[in-house]
Structure 1
Amino acid sequence: MNPFDLSGRLAVVTGCRRGIGLAMAEALAAAGADVIGVSAALEETGSEVEARVTAHGRSFVPHRCDLADRAAVRALAGWLGRRERPVDILVNNAGTIRRAPAVAHPDEDWDQVLEVDLTAPFVLAREVGRDMVRRGSGKVIFTASMLSFQGGVTVPSYAAAKSGIAGLTRALANEWAGHGVNVNAIAPGYIATDNTQALRDQPERDRAIVERIPAGRWGRPEDLAGATVFLASEAAAYVHGTVLAVDGGWLAR
């Protein structure tokens, strides 16, 4: 038996339309999982994530949801709970970032980032996890960050939210591990996505970041594929409460 085989599993991936979420959804499909994709602007048909998932012979169901809207997140959780097929893997990946010095960081930016990056993942994990606990099996994977370990600069709301994700990962693992539910997080390093475009557009900042990464390059979304499949699989059956850095060695410096 291949412990990384996800055949017959159903995965929900938030923030699946591009970047890290897109790569995660494809990786899970390549390992055998069917996918429900969630994103605020996800196309009903013809999306890139749909094409990538179905290319692996797996089914794809799109669901549009604004994760900044608490009522919409609850509605999403209710919709998932009413489906005949239960969720086996929940990947809480969707996130947003706002950049401004702390002394000028607007309340609305703080609220938006905390809602999308911390509250929505908790609400979904709580609602989907309730059924996983009842069934005695399931995998919850959060997307953390290097700023789950560090403070960053001009991103206080993001640093607070991602630090919260690390704590939430451990808290849920403490409660659910004994019920057969694995809760872990992946902390991407500096990955070339829309969220990091502002950094890559600053030549001096871009150079400083790359020079600090032992691997000598920005990460790519597909660099997260192996960690995602591992944490979603039976190979990680005894892995609970871990924040797994996939960072090219950034934290080792």
Structure 2
Amino acid sequence: MLLDGKTAVVTGCGGGLGLAIARTLASHGARIVAMDRSPERADEAARELLASTERQAIAIAVDVSSAAAVAEAFAKLDRHQARIDILVNCAGIREVSRIYDLDPTEWERVIAVNLSGPFYVTREAALRMRETGGGSIVNVASVAGIMGLTHRPAYTASKHGLVGLTRNLARDLAGDGIRVNAIAPGTIRTPMTEGFFDDEGFRNGLREVVPLGDKGSSDDVANAVLFLASPLAGFVNGVVLPVDGGWSAEKAYTVGGGGNGYTAAAARTS
């Protein structure tokens, strides 16, 4: 199998996207360390992985926004004598508000989970990867990290920060044999977003801006993570891979210039 003998730590594993990623990695041979803020969701994820992939998983509860809690979680993992080959930073939260209405405590909470959290977790994982010859880190960013989205100032700032951290670490950790990449999902159908997809107006709006429409699923994201985490991407480092149905590409390549779709804006980026 592609990941046979590898151990993968997945944060936010109790959520729909994190669990889908963990399931895909496990189905290709990885042993999963399921981390989630909720002990119940971490345990439930481990049980689901055993049922669906017949592979045992280690469940660890951790609040990634706390450096001390993250250090304690990895100390627990050390007691399992499990080396870390893959890290997927998937834990994340979001807010929907304009800056006028965004309470500073909510800003701090989003930044703490979405940006400080991956920093704390990556630091602990990278220390261990360095001792065992390297590994692969995949950060789950967002199209909000490569574009500007409305009504999400904290979320957008946190994801832009995560993209910057990815590119910094790709250079800093390469000498230790650690690759660092990110994916940038668009609007993906998950249990958390299912309510939005029930709205026909929402789906129509999505189809207007996403060339491939509203069909993106958590499995699409999980397969992108699998590629970046695996030996298939052995020479891929510092990449931010959109999984957005062409949403971010469509912003640069618009119909124009004689109908060939190649605009001045696109020319400047090519």
Normalized against structure 2, the TM-score is what?
A: 0.85
What stretches of structure 1 of length at least 5 have no aligned partner? none
Equivalent runs, 1:89-100 vs 2, <5 Å? 89-100=86-97
The CA deviation string for residues 59-99 of structure 1, in whole angstroms up to 9 with x for no partner, is: 21111122233432232133234441211111110100111
Q: What amino acid does structure 1 have at the position aligned with 2:14?
A: R
Aligned residues of 1:54 and 1:60 also touching (Cα < 8 A): no
Deviation at 1:51, TM superposition (A): 2.0
Structure 1 range deviating more: 36-45 or 55-64? 36-45
Deviation at 1:114, TM superposition (A): 0.5
Counterpart in the other structure of 2:159: 162
Aligned residues of 1:28 and 1:229 also touching (Cα < 8 A): yes
Runs of 4+ residues deviating >6 angstroms? none
Distance change (3 Å), C-alpha of 1:147 and 1:44? closer
Counterpart in the other structure of 1:235: 232
Normalized against structure 1, the TM-score is what?
A: 0.91
1:114 pairs with 2:111: yes
What's the C-alpha RMSD, in Å, of the aligned pairs? 2.1
Distance change (3 Å), C-alpha of 1:8 and 1:161? same
Equivalent runs, 1:74-89 vs 2, <5 Å? 74-89=71-86
3-state SS of paired residue (1:47): helix
Distance change (3 Å), C-alpha of 1:239 and 1:150? same
Aligned residues of 2:167 and 2:238 also touching (Cα < 8 A): yes
Aligned residues of 1:96 and 1:195 also touching (Cα < 8 A): no
The CA deviation string for residues 92-122 of structure 1, in whole angstroms up to 9 with x for no partner, is: 1010011111111111111110010010110
Q: What amino acid does structure 2 have at the position aligned with 1:24?
A: I
Q: Measure, in 1, the Cα distance between the counterparts of 2:218 and 2:181.
A: 19
Deviation at 1:218, TM superposition (A): 4.0
Distance change (3 Å), C-alpha of 1:218 and 1:108? farther
Q: Measure, in 1, the Cα distance between the counterparts of 2:67 and 2:132.
A: 26
Aligned residues of 1:230 and 1:236 also touching (Cα < 8 A): yes
Deviation at 1:18, TM superposition (A): 2.4
Distance change (3 Å), C-alpha of 1:248 and 1:177? same
What stretches of structure 2 of length at least 5 have no aligned partner? 251-270
Match of 1:208 among 205, 213, 227: 205
Equivalent runs, 1:145-224 vs 2, <5 Å? 145-196=142-193, 199-200=196-197, 203-224=200-221
Counterpart in the other structure of 1:71: 68
Higher relative contact order (CA 8 A, sep 6+): 1
Q: What amino acid does structure 1 have at the position aligned with 2:60?
A: H
Q: Measure, in 1, the Cα distance between the counterparts of 2:50 and 2:24.
A: 8
The CA deviation string for residues 161-208 of structure 1, in whole angstroms up to 9 with x for no partner, is: 100110000101101112211111111111123554575466544421
The CA deviation string for residues 132-184 of structure 1, in whole angstroms up to 9 with x for no partner, is: 12322111110010011112111101001100110000101101112211111
Q: What amino acid does structure 2 have at the position aligned with 1:210?
A: R
Point out the structure with max Rg over C-alpha. 2
Distance change (3 Å), C-alpha of 1:192 and 1:42? farther
